Amino acid sequence: MTPVLQEISMVKDYSQQSRPSLRWVFERPERIVAFGFGSGVIYPGPGTWGTVLGWALWLVLGQFMPLWLALTAGGVGFLVGCWVSQKVGDELGEPDHSGMNWDEAVAMWLVLCFTPASLWAQLCAFILFRFFDIVKPEPIRFLDRRFKGGFGVMLDDLLAALYVVIIMALLVRFEVF
């Protein structure tokens, strides 16, 4: 266990990963971002809460942006996510700690760039994204094992988002939405 983990308040969860406190998360800006503005300390399901964060940010900001700006924001979010995931993962001694959920937030934002505005379409995209993020079908699983560090943390969610965008495009094409 790293010295940082010994200093902060910890509790064991079902996955046997250590769980930083909300207080610890809000001590540094990179932790705040990596832990999805605190949503990563909500258990169970911090990844789901990160996805909810991405959807909420989209509803408040993204849906009012032109597509190019929303995609640019998603790209910046991805790059920032690579850096904060690497830094905080190193600090925790766990490269892909389950509480670090900025990757889910950014991926969901990007999915919603290509999803119809209806609640049902967005809910379908949410469910599909959680499915692909959890199951990690090939080649996502292969790339998740191959790429480590901050880039690897962000990449598997980006690929899950791509799967969802393709499925949503087909659903729109066949007039489901």
Position 19 scores a pLDDT of 87
Position 40 scores a pLDDT of 96
Task: Determine if the peptide bond prior to 44 is cis (ω within 30°).
Answer: yes
Indicate the pTM of the whole model.
Answer: 0.88
Position 176 scores a pLDDT of 87
Position 18 scores a pLDDT of 80
Task: Quote the CA–CA distance of 174 and 170 in Å, as a whole number.
Answer: 6
Residue 61 is given by DSSP the state T
CB contact at 8 A, 113 and 85: no
* For the chain, domain boundaries: 43-173
Position 112 scores a pLDDT of 98
CB contact at 8 A, 22 and 41: yes
Q: What is the DSSP string of 92-148?
A: HT-TT-TT--HHHHHHHHHHHHTS-SSHHHHHHHHHHHHHHHHH--TTHHHHHHH--
Task: Quote the CA–CA distance of 153 and 164 in Å, as a whole number.
Answer: 18
Percentage helix, strand, coil for the chain under 3-state DSSP, each rounded to 5:
70, 0, 30
Amino acid at 173: R
Position 63 scores a pLDDT of 93
Residues of the chain with pLDDT under 50: 3-15
- Identify the three-state secondary structure at position 24: helix
Position 59 scores a pLDDT of 97
Position 97 scores a pLDDT of 95
